[in-house]
Amino acid sequence: MKDTSWEISQEDLSNYYIDENLNGPQTFSDKELKKIVGNVQYLSMHPVNKWMDTQEKIAYFNSYTKSRMDFLADIATTTPTMESSKRFYGELIAGIDRNRILLDNISGIDDFKYRIDLFDCRRNKDQAKRVKKRKKITTLEDDFSVAVPNDIIGQHAFYIILENLIRNTAKHSGKEDNSLVTFNIEVHEPDEQQCKRCPKLNSYYEIHIYDDFPFETLKVRLTGPEADFFKKYHVHKLRRKLVTPDLMIDKLEKIVHRQNVFINQDLLSIKENTLRQGAWGMVEMEAAAAYLRKIPVESIDEDRYEIDIDDLKGKDYGILDEDYRSANILKCFIKVSNDQSRTRHLAYRFFMLKPKELLIVVDDDVLSKLDKREKTLDYSKLSTNLINHGIWLKYDGEKRKDGLEKFEKNHIYEHEILVNMTNGDIPSKEDISSKFGLLPDKIIRFSIIEYLKANFKKEDALKVKDVVWKRYSETLPDIYVFPYQQTHFPNIHEPLAKVNAEYTHHGTSWSDAFGGFIKNTRQHIEITTGLNNMSDTLKKAFDGGKAFYKLLDSINSQIIIFDERVQEAAAKLTYTPESRGKTFDEVSYAELYIASGVYVPPKGVFDFSKIAYKKDTKGQTPKNQILELLRNSSSVKFKKYLECNLDRVRFLVMHLGVLEKILVSENARVSDPSKEKDIIEDLVNEFLASIPRSEGQEIKPIIISGRGLPPNLPGKIPFVNYSALSQYLIDNRNKYLLNDLLFSTRNVLKLS
């Protein structure tokens, strides 16, 4: 899967496919193209995607397929260690909505018209009332975020669940007419009573997904294998009279029982020494739901995730104690509509992580001031309310404060920024060496006490995020950004003489922009291509606020990458900008990387793809060659006319395979992976220390691998799967999102 994924990323397959014999790229005939793209069944939530041409549809389908293979390889080999905040409508739904070839052909039947609707049902945690209020999300203004493990790769866990539901409805619903089917995605708060039993459930959203195909109250008789099935698994049901003595049962209840039994069923029957038979779609959906909660796939058969098959309405969450992850991973239940019809539907429930944007740490002094001002502030409700907006409040003090969780020094926090409101240092001087991989990379001392109040609202959350990001941006060098589509950004008034960063989208005014960089009249160009939804994000950025400061942060970050696959892409791939009907000259990815502040050494400097690394003509070992390269990184010359001053390096990204080959050249490899971890960690730290930097400049080391979680991976160095990295370097080149990804990386130690 990894190899095929890599081949797709290295070829322009917008007009091609790989045939069943894997004979390489094959062209589509006009008849085949018409069949593939002409069968419109899916009615989009995102109208902008309706106007995709054939080439765009095929290109995105191939990119989507590559990401799916990366996901399957990832879920089979490792458990995700990082999280990224994604807008549910603008990114998560948009990601599958754009795959028109898949959505128009997934049903497998000729005439299956359908749509996908997203509803925000988070307003009420009371399970009895939760369906009374729901809001359909159709705009970015009403959008909200969830956390997805492993960035864009992890989005496919959600897509797998949705795709299975669409296929099952098309295959089994029995719909005879061509009426429109709506697939509903509802995002709820966990049930209030369940959260009282287990407060950490507040870290999740509860997702309900179902179609609008109604089930009438209909009794059916069980015969043959079905009767044997219910006699085996539901003997107690006969006593409860849900199944009558003559084996009559409600049709929908029968389906719900059967699906939950399949979910409960182990992959391997130890008792019977056999592999389970059938219902593999349930296995796929449960594994995907586990991935969304960062539960190891090998754990899904554990008894603690067992479903109570007597619970038809989905009220029971399973075993809940201090280990909040024991809630059911996936559950089938009967969903009753909230309108007057009270129709019943077959639904599935799973959980997704709430976003982690800001981590606010307070101490006794801060709480004393809050208590004095608010009098009767309920910290439990305040904390829960903040979490719903991606803001997490932790307590670092001597006294115990009911309703607030303790800030743990040896805990991995996935937030974007840590706001220190205490009188002490975070991290403390003795803990500074363990900062990377545990705490957010962005740490500021700042007070937001004026915003912490009982009736904290969405508007307050937006203000808090804006002021925090503005405060963080004040720690960055002066950056003046000029977008060439200035009509979209009326708030930009900087004279060109002050501009040292330029933003272009899909090649607009490309010639002037790139030419300006080459002539050294600009220090940096922010290049964003490949992802349509980023256009609106960056247009909003120039109105100020969080998005603008994140843009500045991505411009400020410069990245050194040592990886043979990225090096190959830099040398081989090109981009041809087009704007307003005008086509510009090809630009190599190597030039694009440099312009974006990403330095990948050319093969002529050091060829990472060689099977074995050897001494150079001067007798320098491979290790010393790289050390010399890094020592001179403050003035790295690329070609004759281009100079990139890496004086703002934030990340050193190194492929584990590169590090292993350097150890081979030094005769330093050992057979014991646990011992080799320390050797690799020392090597990375030596490389890190060789990079020149200004006072206070921090450089984060990151190890990448496409082999899942290798046994010799150092636990104290942040890690990211190559699949996620390649998305924003090769498949959908995007410095803005690449910066987010690298900042979100954490180490692989399970400290608490």
Q: What is the pLDDT of residues 43-55, one digit of tens each?
A: 887 766 667 777 7
Q: pLDDT > 70: what percent of the chain?
A: 73
Alpha-helical runs (H) found in 388-478: 458-473
Contact present, 91 and 152 (Cβ < 8 Å): no
- Which has more confidence, 568 or 258? 568
The whole-number average pLDDT for the span 270-275 is 64
Expressed as residue numbers, the domain containing 418 is: 358-473
Q: Which residues pair with 184 in a beta bridge?
A: 117, 210
- Which has more confidence, 215 or 273? 215
Q: Which residues pair with 574 in a beta bridge?
A: 588
- pLDDT interval class at 577 (50, 70, 90): low
Tokens of 271: 């008792």
Q: In Å, what is the CA distance from 210 to each residue of 204, 206, 576, 653?
A: 19, 13, 43, 42
| Shared-domain flag, residues 578 and 607 | yes
Predicted confidence at residue 174, as pLDDT, reads: 67
Q: What is the pLDDT of residues 637-649, one digit of tens each?
A: 444 333 455 667 8
The whole-number average pLDDT for the span 651-678 is 93
Last residue of a domain, one of 473, 495, 513: 473
| Shared-domain flag, residues 727 and 584 | yes
The whole-number average pLDDT for the span 504-519 is 44
Residue 558: Cβ-neighbour burial (10 angstroms; 0-12, 13-18, 19+)? buried
Question: How many domains does the chain divide into?
Answer: 3
Q: What is the pLDDT of residues 366-378, one digit of tens each?
A: 988 988 888 788 8
Tokens of 636: 């790295």
pTM of the model: 0.83
| Shared-domain flag, residues 625 and 706 | yes
The whole-number average pLDDT for the span 322-339 is 79
Q: Look at residue 241 and tell me if it is in a domain.
A: no
- Using alpha carbons, select from 681, 691, 683 the residue that is nearest to residue 712: 681
Q: Tell me which H or E stretch contains 149.
A: strand 145-149
Cα 595 from Cα 643, distance rounded (Å): 10
The whole-number average pLDDT for the span 648-668 is 93
CA atoms within 13 A on the CB side of 620: 12
Predicted confidence at residue 497, as pLDDT, reads: 45
Assign 650 to helix, strand or coil.
strand
Q: Look at residue 573 and tell me if it is in a domain.
A: yes
| Shared-domain flag, residues 681 and 622 | yes
Q: Look at residue 658 and tell me if it is in a domain.
A: yes
Predicted confidence at residue 394, as pLDDT, reads: 92
Tokens of 667: 């005769």
The verdict on whether omega for the bond into residue 718 sits within 30 degrees of 0, i.e. cis, is no
Predicted confidence at residue 175, as pLDDT, reads: 67
| Shared-domain flag, residues 454 and 572 | no
The whole-number average pLDDT for the span 132-159 is 88
Predicted confidence at residue 28, as pLDDT, reads: 63
Predicted confidence at residue 528, as pLDDT, reads: 44
Predicted confidence at residue 281, as pLDDT, reads: 86
CA atoms within 13 A on the CB side of 438: 18
Predicted confidence at residue 609, as pLDDT, reads: 93
Give the other-Cβ count within 10 Å of 143's Cβ: 18
Q: Look at residue 142 and tell me if it is in a domain.
A: no
Predicted confidence at residue 532, as pLDDT, reads: 41
- At 464, which CATH number? 3.40.50
Predicted confidence at residue 485, as pLDDT, reads: 45
The whole-number average pLDDT for the span 159-168 is 94
| Shared-domain flag, residues 548 and 501 | yes
Cα 651 from Cα 630, distance rounded (Å): 12
| Shared-domain flag, residues 618 and 723 | yes
Q: Look at residue 468 and tell me if it is in a domain.
A: yes
- pLDDT interval class at 233 (50, 70, 90): low
Q: Look at residue 635 and tell me if it is in a domain.
A: yes
pLDDT of 479 over the 60 cut: yes
**Mean pLDDT score of the chain, rounded to an integer?**
78
Assign 438 to helix, strand or coil.
coil
| Shared-domain flag, residues 484 and 528 | yes
Q: What is the pLDDT of residues 463-478, one digit of tens each?
A: 999 999 999 988 887 6
| Shared-domain flag, residues 437 and 546 | no
- Which has more confidence, 643 or 107? 107
The whole-number average pLDDT for the span 482-511 is 47
| Shared-domain flag, residues 375 and 508 | no
Predicted confidence at residue 8, as pLDDT, reads: 45
Cα 176 from Cα 154, distance rounded (Å): 36
Q: pLDDT > 90: what percent of the chain?
A: 26
Tokens of 146: 């969830």
Cα 48 from Cα 353, distance rounded (Å): 28
Q: What is the pLDDT of residues 680-700, one digit of tens each?
A: 999 999 999 998 887 778 899
Give the other-Cβ count within 10 Å of 600's Cβ: 25
| Shared-domain flag, residues 398 and 423 | yes
Q: For residue 271, what are the contacts with CB-CB under 8 A and spacing of at least 6? A: none
| Shared-domain flag, residues 567 and 543 | no
Residue 320: Cβ-neighbour burial (10 angstroms; 0-12, 13-18, 19+)? buried
Q: Look at residue 81 and tell me if it is in a domain.
A: no
